[in-house]
Amino acid sequence: MAERADELRGGRGREPLSRRRIQEVALRLIDEDGLEALTMRKLGGALGVDPMALYRHFENKEALLDGVTELLWAEVERGSRDGGDWKDQLRFIAGSLRELAHAHPNAYSLVMTREVIAEAALILSEAKLKALKAAGFEEDLAAEAVRTLISYGIGYGALELSYLLSEDRGSAEEPASEAERLMRVMRMVPRDVPPHLAEVARVICACDVDAQFDFGLELILAGLEALLNRSPTGAD
């Protein structure tokens, strides 16, 4: 009873300690201070409970990080609308995973590194597989399509969090101009690099990341559409 009281105390109106509440506060702390700064003691303090109370819900910190990964995937899955054609369904997967990188840059690596398959990820994948099969995709090709768009969204989001592109977007209201992108890239190029390679850096790296994302996404979708049209069950 004493331990239960410890979980519930800490201020009038405090929510009971639950797995979901622990996950949410852990994600908030990671967002604020970074993944490495998260400890069970710090999390317990933020929740107003003895850190030992957390072990009723998570066996250890590794299990907690798996739980935060579940929460991240749930954030993608919750926004997954079923409307639109199969292309819209796949655009949503890639776009949502990319947006997740911007919403939770400090936690995003968990999506790529945790050895856990979140239930929300399976629910999302199931819905998209059904949509693709209804459009005429055979199951194997539908699975390839879902895997490809998940990989593209995660990979692009991770790239934007890298040093090269992390500041390229500027703020949401004031995206980086072409001149600003070029100046940033040129600062990263070694001073003694041959001029023709500096030009390569300009052409390849000084890009509008939003336009580049859309370009790559549409290339993938066009390729999938061509495969669908060649399929005996696809459109002619």
Note whether residue 19 is domain-resident.
Answer: yes
Note whether residue 117 is domain-resident.
Answer: yes
What is the pLDDT at residue 10? 41
- Measured CA to CA, the distance from residue 109 to residue 101 in angstroms comes to 9
Would the pLDDT of 102 be above 60?
Answer: yes
Least confident among 91-95, 105-109, 118-122, 177-181: 177-181
Buried b (16+ CB within 10 A) or exposed e, 112-130: eebebebebbeebbebbbe
Same domain, residue pair 103 and 143 = yes
- Measured CA to CA, the distance from residue 123 to residue 142 in angstroms comes to 15
Residue 143, classed as helix, strand or coil, is helix
Same domain, residue pair 150 and 225 = yes
Same domain, residue pair 198 and 218 = no
Higher-confidence position of 162 and 14: 162
What is the pLDDT at residue 22? 97
What is the pLDDT at residue 82? 61
**Mean pLDDT rounded to a whole number for the chain:** 85
Same domain, residue pair 135 and 235 = yes
Same domain, residue pair 135 and 224 = yes
Determine contact, residues 181/211, Cβ cutoff 8 Å: no
Would the pLDDT of 228 be above 80?
Answer: yes
What is the pLDDT at residue 4? 45
Higher-confidence position of 48 and 12: 48
Same domain, residue pair 11 and 25 = yes
Same domain, residue pair 128 and 231 = yes
- pLDDT band of 1, cuts 50, 70, 90: very low
What is the pLDDT at residue 233? 60
What is the pLDDT at residue 94? 94
Residue with tokens 């292309």: 87
For the chain, the domain total comes to 3
* Structural Rg of the chain based on CA atoms: 22
Note whether residue 73 is domain-resident.
Answer: no
Query: Taking the model in full, what pTM does it have?
Result: 0.81
Would the pLDDT of 219 be above 50?
Answer: yes
What is the pLDDT at residue 168? 47
Distances (CA, A) of 203 to 114, 198, 199: 35, 9, 6
Question: 57 Cβ partners below 8 Å, 6+ apart?
Answer: 17, 18, 19, 22
% of the chain residues with pLDDT over 70: 83
- pLDDT band of 3, cuts 50, 70, 90: very low
As a whole number, mean pLDDT of residues 19-39 equals: 96
- pLDDT band of 119, cuts 50, 70, 90: very high
As a whole number, mean pLDDT of residues 142-171 equals: 80
Burial of 42 (0-12, 13-18, 19+ CB in 10 A): middle
Q: Which domain holds residue 155?
A: 80-161+211-236
